[in-house]
A and B are shown apart, each in its own frame.
Chain A
């Protein structure tokens, strides 16, 4: 099968791989690069478990062709904690019991991060809207919504 060279940064680190033509970014990240934090729940763009951030935009990596990511800056949940210190969103998810089976958690955190990057003090409705593309079957969503609101509050306290 024809291979395409692809180069991008993943959580700030340079990556270069030969990718099967037609391979999704999800498969490239998981199988080639070894970042398994994005999850494959449906492979058809409906569950949000594979969510990553590409050049600041929330994207479904299962619907993104890897070869379109040349030169992009990609962020995944595995790259959020710095020097062993959890990102405020990770801390809030942990404290608020916002993950049970954990399979949707990395995607949820990506969606929440894009929201807080743009809207540091979101309303509850804005949080719900931002998470509406991510399915959770365990929690009933309420602890997740609370975690995002808590992370927003702790961010604004840090800024002040």
Chain B
């Protein structure tokens, strides 16, 4: 598809040398020859293998942990529990002051999701680590669990995470992120039609072909080199520094080559415990998720629920929008308070609506902790919003594309979070889409521009 020169002609330069030209990716020669070095392509003599003993329960108190039999398994070198981790309770976003710390590196007294790491076993071979892990005996008192966000928000629901003390994240704005603009109830009262719909999604796993992992090699000088496929190198280094109570200058992270991430490798999960293992044994440590772990343990995209209520006029204008969004964080925050917050900013959509009310909740349940995935906080919201737009157009008997032209935001329009729109290009995108899809719209819409109202 060619970029039409009529769009934004005053902002265009036609002497570009790179844009529009195919350029080889700098990493492709390594990929096609098999020379690209992924973290697991390193091999160190004397390397130990780390396996986690994981909770079989969704919610349980740990009465006791007995590692004596596992300790005696041939090949076992070290077994780690919560008390071995210098700063065991952490949260990733503490680096940008989003607390409280609410997650354990190794479970301490309680497990909050099925699959939570409780005991780490380090052994000479993967097989020995696996066999020994099976010999760790943990006595659990199973607690009632909650899996549904609405159930979790009801009074009397089991409290998932004591570090929050309630099953939702407490923002500085209260129990949810809020956007208030105009008078939404007056907007509904004056609307020709009001449509309320609920949209829900399930967790989605990224399923990268390369599973999450790292290899840590102790240097002789009390420094540690961590080869990792993290997507968040400095977040991981800084969180490892906090968890291990070790200055960052003793941690050397090597990475940047990721065999598929899609957001699934931004959490800080494998590196701190592997570095601790290397520190306590003085040997290189490999901690690589099995395919099963990648599918069941790594954070998925959050389940979401979105309730959208719109007031619309017969002429196509949306006059009021109220959205309540719920993000299922699972048992721990990770990136979900941020994801839910993004939703609050996003739910008005790329449309100019005079009356808007948004509440977004980050809810804790006993499900696998969710986190980042390709546009988390907005992708499911976009699905919901655009299905809603189609339904609204149908309701008033209007072409769905023309309906979007009527409501599209343009430069200078005030958005619900009180930032004036700049650099809008929705009109032009829809004009091009109309041509490309052979979905004609009225000539007045093809004559519109993002630059000015009434143009």
Within 8 A of A (CB), among B244-294: 258-262, 290-291
Taking the closest CB of chain B, its distance from the CB of A157, in whole angstroms, is: 20
Q: Does A105 contact B (CB under 8 A)?
A: yes
B interface list, Cβ under 8 A from A: 22, 24-25, 27-38, 40-41, 43, 206-211, 258-262, 290-291
Q: Are B41 and A105 in contact (CB under 8 A)?
A: no
- Contacts A76-B34, A103-B260 known; A36 to B41 CB distance under 8 Å? yes
Q: Does A71 contact B (CB under 8 A)?
A: no
Q: Does A63 contact B (CB under 8 A)?
A: no
Please give 8 more A-B residue pairs, beta carbons under 8 A apart, in addition to A41-B209, A101-B259, A102-B28. A30-B41, A36-B37, A41-B259, A80-B33, A97-B22, A102-B36, A137-B260, A138-B260
Q: Are A93 and B210 in contact (CB under 8 A)?
A: no
Measured CB to CB, the nearest residue on chain B to A97 is B25
- Chain A residues with Cβ under 8 A from B29's Cβ? 94
Taking the closest CB of chain B, its distance from the CB of A50, in whole angstroms, is: 11
Give Cα A147–Cα B126 distance, bound, in whole angstroms. 38
| 6 interchain residue pairs of minimum CB distance | A37-B34, A102-B31, A103-B259, A36-B41, A78-B34, A90-B32
Interface size class of A (residues with CB under 8 A): 35 or more
- Chain A residues with Cβ under 8 A from B35's Cβ? 37, 78
- Chain A residues with Cβ under 8 A from B36's Cβ? 102
Q: Does A99 contact B (CB under 8 A)?
A: yes
Measured CB to CB, the nearest residue on chain B to A79 is B34
Q: Are B210 and A77 in contact (CB under 8 A)?
A: no
Within 8 A of B (CB), among A4-46: 30-31, 34-44, 46
Measured CB to CB, the nearest residue on chain A to B29 is A94
Chain A 65-89 against B: per-residue CB contact (8 Å), 1 yes, 0 no? 0000000000011101100001001
Taking the closest CB of chain B, its distance from the CB of A1, in whole angstroms, is: 8
A interface list, Cβ under 8 A from B: 30-31, 34-44, 46-47, 49, 76-78, 80-81, 86, 89-91, 93-95, 97, 99-106, 109, 135-138
A sample of 15 cross-chain residue pairs with beta-carbon separation below 8 angstroms, ordered by A number, consists of A31-B43, A36-B38, A37-B35, A42-B291, A76-B34, A77-B32, A77-B33, A80-B33, A90-B33, A95-B24, A100-B25, A101-B208, A101-B258, A135-B209, A137-B209
Q: Are A102 and B259 in contact (CB under 8 A)?
A: yes
Taking the closest CB of chain A, its distance from the CB of B64, in whole angstroms, is: 33
Most chain A beta-carbon neighbours within 10 Å: one of B31, B43, B259: B31
- Chain B residues with Cβ under 8 A from A76's Cβ? 34
Most chain B beta-carbon neighbours within 10 Å: one of A31, A46, A137, A138: A137
- Chain B residues with Cβ under 8 A from A44's Cβ? 291
Q: Are A105 and B260 in contact (CB under 8 A)?
A: no
- Chain B residues with Cβ under 8 A from A30's Cβ? 41, 43
Measured CB to CB, the nearest residue on chain A to B42 is A36
Give Cα A81–Cα B258 distance, bound, in whole angstroms. 24
- Chain B residues with Cβ under 8 A from A78's Cβ? 33-35
Taking the closest CB of chain A, its distance from the CB of B207, in whole angstroms, is: 6
- Chain A residues with Cβ under 8 A from B291's Cβ? 41-44, 46-47
Residue from B22, B33, B260 in contact with A81 in the complex, judged by beta carbons closer than 8 Å: B33
Q: Are B210 and A39 in contact (CB under 8 A)?
A: yes
- Chain B residues with Cβ under 8 A from A89's Cβ? 32
Give Cα A46–Cα B290 distance, bound, in whole angstroms. 13
Give Cα A29–Cα B123 distance, bound, in whole angstroms. 22
Q: Are A43 and B290 in contact (CB under 8 A)?
A: yes
Give Cα A30–Cα B209 distance, bound, in whole angstroms. 17
Give Cα A37–Cα B34 distance, bound, in whole angstroms. 4
Q: Are A106 and B34 in contact (CB under 8 A)?
A: yes
Give Cα A102–Cα B38 distance, bound, in whole angstroms. 10
Most chain A beta-carbon neighbours within 10 Å: one of B37, B206, B260: B260
Measured CB to CB, the nearest residue on chain B to A93 is B32
- Chain B residues with Cβ under 8 A from A103's Cβ? 38, 208-210, 259-260
- Chain A residues with Cβ under 8 A from B28's Cβ? 93-94, 97, 99, 102
Measured CB to CB, the nearest residue on chain B to A32 is B43
Give Cα A102–Cα B261 distance, bound, in whole angstroms. 12
Q: Are A49 and B33 in contact (CB under 8 A)?
A: no
Residue from A36, A40, A43 in contact with B34 in the complex, judged by beta carbons closer than 8 Å: A36
Taking the closest CB of chain A, its distance from the CB of B298, in whole angstroms, is: 13
- Contacts A30-B41, A44-B291, A102-B27 known; A137 to B208 CB distance under 8 Å? yes
- Contacts A39-B210, A136-B209 known; A102 to B30 CB distance under 8 Å? yes
Taking the closest CB of chain B, its distance from the CB of A22, in whole angstroms, is: 9
Taking the closest CB of chain A, its distance from the CB of B436, in whole angstroms, is: 18
Residue from B24, B31, B207, B262 in contact with A105 in the complex, judged by beta carbons closer than 8 Å: B31
Give Cα A140–Cα B413 distance, bound, in whole angstroms. 37
Taking the closest CB of chain A, its distance from the CB of B21, in whole angstroms, is: 13
- Chain A residues with Cβ under 8 A from B208's Cβ? 101, 103, 137
- Chain B residues with Cβ under 8 A from A38's Cβ? 34
- Chain B residues with Cβ under 8 A from A42's Cβ? 291
Q: Are B211 and A41 in contact (CB under 8 A)?
A: yes
Q: Are A77 and B34 in contact (CB under 8 A)?
A: yes
- Chain A residues with Cβ under 8 A from B34's Cβ? 35-38, 76-78, 105-106
